[in-house]
Structure 1
Amino acid sequence: MHATFSAEELAFQEEVRAFLRDNFNDDMAAKIRDPKTFKAATIEWQKKRFDKGWVAPGWPVEHGGCGWSDTQKYIFDSALAEAGAPDVPPFGLKMVGPVIYTFGTEEQKQQFLPGILNGDTWWCQGYSEPGAGSDLAGLQTRAERDGDDYVINGTKIWTTYAQYADWMFALVRTDNSGKPQQGISFLLIDMRTPGITVSPIIAIDGEHHLNEVSFENVRVPVVNRIGEENQGWTYAKALLSHERTALSGIAYCKQVLNNVRKLAADENDDGQPLLNNPTFQARMADIEMELMALEYTELRVLATVANGGAPGMESSLLKLKGTELQQAVQNLFFDVAGLYGSVLPADADLSSLGHDYGDQARREYMYGRACTIYGGSNEVQKNIIAKFGLGL
């Protein structure tokens, strides 16, 4: 990637901006933020990108990818941030999709990839369990072979968007005889299968993002297994590398910083705009410099993937630093809201308080406490970096 854009890249940038102006507006943004309309609005937004051919920048062209250069991916992500437009949920496009087109059978590719691309099929991730979160190899959900089916019993937890999902990709234990990592298989599970119970978990921000999913004698066809039995750990590691790269949250940080800058320009600080406060400016500058460094690191990782490599230890670095920066921008947003971001009753009339963003700042701050935990806690990422990056 070069520091300046070519004429072709500038033309692409304007094409992206025009697409966003025509296809994403405040009404759609509000519907995506509203839990009642979230799924329908998100599918609508994904289908607009799918119709344009811009829904899977990281996929190979033969499977529906965009065929973009790393610079084009950068331009697109930056334009999303400028417009305040969200990316699509990652579970299909950025997690299970790459596993299916890399390790799946032709039949699995034909069955699942089209629905992942156009948004018709929603996915959730069945990894964490009550006794196996960051220690993923400790999972105990059991899958026993019975003819052409596996019979599954156990529980998954912290399952984001399971209440919306059509399918789950899950790690299950198929053998206890060897090392914990050697007895795990990777299954694709239809969420409509009898015996599956989804129970809501209300998060610290008061919203229903998370769930506990229980399996009681759930039958899953063997043909829904990815790759070989007991080799699921191999496929899971590939998925986790893609997941942790996606968790860097650079576009999200840019969106929040842009919003904070506008709000701080209007916020009164002893007769002056808060944006003019030297301490506030220094905090903004520190975050922006670290975000720029992280962004270029991500671009180097994307270049490695584009040349046939795979995100390794670098994905842990991106997850570690990216989630720390997400919390930093959430702290800044919350500080701008001040007392208006205080905890309030669910039925409080926020319009009477003078700030209509205080509740949003509080909710993002509260939920953001989890980002250094999910996807493998940051303590685990430090161990990976120390072992594989520093040889410790």
Structure 2
Amino acid sequence: MNLDFTPEDELFRAEARDWLNDNVPRDQRPPEDQAMREFDLAWQRCQFDGGWAGVSWPVEYGGRGLSLTEQLIWYEEYARAGGPSSELLFVGCNHAAPTIMARGTQAQKDYHLSRILRGEVAWCQGFSEPNNGSDLGGLRCRAEIDGDHLVVNGSKIWTSGAHLADWQELLVRTDPAAPKHKGISWVICDMRSPGIELRPILIMTAPGHHHFNQVFYTDVRIPLSNVVGEVNDGWNVAMSTLGFERGTASMSEQIRYGAILEKLIEIARERFGKHVLEYDEIGARLAQLRAETQAVRAMTYTTASRVARGMLGSEASITRAFVSQLQQRIRRIAVDVIGPDSIELPDVDPWIRPYLRSYSNTIAAGTSEIQRNIIGERVLGLPR
């Protein structure tokens, strides 16, 4: 991949920078609940109205149809401008939408893609189950075909934002007699369907609020027309979804952490002196992390290059495994830089809550152990 940006790329960068400087919300993003949903949806609508939602989405689906290089530039400028994370919309924009584009019917594309891009709906993910978190092929939430519907019974766990979501990407077992990774279907579930019950899972980062849910399904009826791909071929569809998650979907987060670290270095200089990177143990750690974020930037560019050539495979797990641990190290040193003030947990907090949540980074999107197995077996060719 040519890492030199063209004059046209630089014009695009200037255009993106100007728009972001004028439009990035200056109000703090609410940490939880309905206010957070309204904030994220409003910001997505603002980007859409400004022509910046779906930079690399095909034009026929409402995007601009630009290259991955321009998408990367947008992510870099977004991080530089301090754009909000909008994590409630991550599943819809980066999981469901690309999966529907690649594997969905025309009717599914027509109905869902524009609503996702315009910021009209939020999605959640129904993959993990009790006792089957990392072993996705062992899922037991079942669905029986009844006429032109699936009837779903079972439960999912660790469902981020389920209480705020309109739709869910849901994996169900439609053929219990099939081998482990067969007999699974990927379906679009309306979260307002009768028979869905949500139970909040309280975590240490959100006293008085909740982020995770356990979702119970009791005779939930889902039209067969909501199956993405074919019935019993959901494993292959899910691999497409996880491929997006471990590849292009994570690019913005990889780039954002470089900006987070630079902000932290500014705080360290204010606290310990402008030469902290040269003389202090904290400075040495920050310098090492800065080098690692630059390595991640190179890895992100490599991912974009491979995707552009249709070559992205299991190598994405290398970046995922490295980045998840790098995020934890950055969040950990933030606590050391902030010092005694870190024992506070204010409602609006850019450092301590993310530190507490960073413990989940090496679990979400496949544990570090799963990523290493993928790297060993599929990249290095080692025996199982």
Q: TM-score, normalised by structure 2?
A: 0.92
1:251 to partner: Cα distance? 2.7
Q: Which residue of 2 aligns with 1:92?
A: 92
Offset at residue 52 of structure 1 (A): 2.5
CA deviation map 1:357-379 (0-9, x unaligned): 8x542211110100110111010
Q: Note the C-alpha offset of 1:252.
A: 2.8
1-structure distance, mates of 2:29, 2:84: 12
Report the more deviating stretch, 257-266 or 125-134.
Answer: 257-266
Compute the displacement of 1:2 (Å).
3.8
Asked if the contact 1:168–1:191 (Cα under 8 Å) also holds between the matched residues in 2, the reply is: yes
Distance, in Å, in 2 between the alignment partners of 1:128 and 1:338 is: 36
CA distance in structure 2 between the partners assigned to 1:369 and 1:72 by the alignment:
32
Q: 2:158–2:214: 8 Å Cα contact kept in structure 1? A: yes
User: What is residue 108 of structure 2 aligned with on the other side?
Assistant: 108
- Quickly say closer, same or farther: Cα 1:72–1:58, change in 2 above 3 A: closer
Q: Secondary structure at the match of 2:330?
A: helix
Counterparts of residues 127-206 of structure 1 (less than 5 Å): 127-206=127-206
Aligned CA distance change for structure 1 residues 31 and 361 (closer, same or farther; 3 Å):
closer
- Say which of 376, 383, 391 aligns to 2:373: 383
Range with greater deviation from structure 2 (373-382 or 275-284): 275-284
- Paired AA for residue 363 in structure 1: R
Whole-angstrom CA distance in 1 between matches of 2:81 and 2:269: 19
Other-structure match for 1:328? 329
Quote the Cα distance in structure 2 between the aligned partners of 1:236 and 1:25.
34
Give me the whole-angstrom Cα distance separating, in 1, the residues matched to 2:356 and 2:85: 21
1:81: how far off?
1.1
**Is residue 60 of structure 1 aligned with residue 58 of structure 2?**
yes
Task: Return the alpha-carbon distance in structure 2 between the equivalents of residues 66 and 244 of structure 1.
Answer: 23
Contact 1:242/1:315 (<8 A) preserved: no
Which residues in structure 2 correspond to 1:1-392 (within 5 Å)? Answer: 1-27=1-27, 30-33=28-31, 35=33, 37-88=35-86, 89-206=89-206, 207-245=209-247, 246-247=249-250, 249-268=253-272, 274=276, 277-307=279-309, 309=310, 311-342=312-343, 360-392=350-382
Q: Which moved more, 1:187-196 or 1:60-69?
A: 60-69
Letter in 2 for 1:77: Y
Measure, in 2, the Cα distance between the counterparts of 1:247 and 1:74: 11
Residue 347 of structure 1 aligns with which residue?
none
- RMSD between aligned alpha carbons? 2.0
Contact 1:80 1:251 in 2 (8 A): no
State the identity %. Answer: 38
Helix, strand or coil at the partner of 1:170: strand
Gaps of 5+ in 2: none
Greater shift in the superposed pair: 48-57 or 125-134:
48-57
TM-aligned CA deviation for residue 276 of structure 1: 5.7
What is the CA–CA distance in structure 1 between the aligned matches of 2:315 and 2:363, rounded to whole Å?
18
> Deviation of residue 240 (structure 1)?
0.3
Tell me the distance in 2 between the aligned counterparts of 1:19 and 1:222. 42
Letter in 2 for 1:31: R
| 1:118 Cα offset (Å) | 0.7
Q: 1:166 to 1:111 in 2, by over 3 A?
A: same
What is the alpha-carbon distance in structure 2 between the residues aligned to residue 157 and residue 311 of structure 1? 30
| Alignment size in residue pairs | 376
Please say if residues 186 and 226 of structure 1, whose CA atoms lie closer than 8 Å, have aligned partners that are also in contact.
yes
Taking the aligned partners of 1:192 and 1:90, their CA distance within structure 2 comes to 20
The residue type paired with residue 215 of structure 2 is V
Please give the secondary structure, in 2, of the residue aligned with 1:376. coil
Amino acid at match of 2:231: E
Question: Deviation of residue 388 (structure 1)?
Answer: 0.7
- Taking structure 1 as the reference length, what is the TM-score of the superposition? 0.90
Moved more, 35-44 or 156-165: 35-44
Deviation of 1:255 (Å): 2.9
Q: Distance in 2 between matches of 1:92 and 1:43?
A: 11
Moved more, 260-269 or 316-325: 260-269
Structure 1 SS opposite 2:360: coil
Counterpart of 2:154, as a letter, is G
Q: CA deviation at 1:3?
A: 4.1
| Alpha carbons of structure 1 residues 372 and 58: separation in structure 2 relative to 1, 3 Å | farther
Q: Secondary structure at the match of 2:175?
A: coil
Report if the CA contact (8 A) 1:260-1:333 is conserved.
Answer: yes
Counterparts of 1:263 and 1:170 in 2: how far apart (Å)? 42
8 Å Cα contact 1:247-1:322 kept in structure 2: no
